[in-house]
Structure 1
Amino acid sequence: MSIFSRIKDAVFGHKTVATTPAPEPVPAGGEIAQSQPAPTLEQPQTVDVEQVLTSIAASKGNPDLNYRTSIVDLLKLLDIDSDLANREELATELGYTGVKDGSAEMNIWLHKEVMRQLAANGGTVPASMLD
């Protein structure tokens, strides 16, 4: 399993996941016909990434981790090995084109790209964690 898949599973699969149902589509006529039963399709959910991470931190006794900006601390919070080999693998998965040496530049890019990818996969991520 890829490193990003493990991150996504840890965030989206968290037991106290904060979700909001996606809005239901309105038919072209503006209202649903009363005589037809509504289909029982499962609506996609949007995950509040910051709330989930805060919940995970709280469940661990609020460890002194800067997971909002640090990829190393984010991985630690999610119980994923944060060693350089894993970060290099994650950088390759996400398309990092710089030198994969664990530099601050690489780590900052990784954190922002992980947040962008979580948002692209149905997560709600605050702007402060994206830029």
Structure 2
Amino acid sequence: LSSSNGYTLVFNIQPIKEVHSRLPAGGADLSVLGHEITFRNGRTAQNRFLKAALTERISSWDPKNHKKRGIPPQRLINMYDKWGHGKFGVILTGNVCVDPWNLESAGNVVFSKENDCPELRQACVKWAEAMKQDGALAVAQISHTSS
């Protein structure tokens, strides 16, 4: 490969025979993933599959009015509705911020006394119902970034 300044680069590329080698292991019984699990608080998940947390950043955002921040929109509820039909044992939400001024990101759900209103409560009820419709436990990922 020649460059415009007169240097020639030579690459000695060898074919890759193996990206990695596996450690020897015996068979594993994966059926345990489908078994119920009871937590110390007495709640039981229908299986051991967990929908991991995300940061969705699609809830309402108003830079000036903190009362309008973090209300889950219908599209967030629709997304969790799909996961709610996924037969997960546990569905972990994205960030649920508890302080409208100390956020992980604008657009995340905010649930605090400062923004409490009927619209927020109704949206959160629909959100929870969507997650739990096929028996999953719903767990909120509580976030506070502190100041």
Smaller-chain TM-score bracket: under 0.3
Higher relative contact order (CA 8 A, sep 6+): 1
Query: Comparing both structures, which one devotes a greater share of its residues to strand?
Result: 2
TM-score using structure 2 length = 0.24
Higher helix share: 1
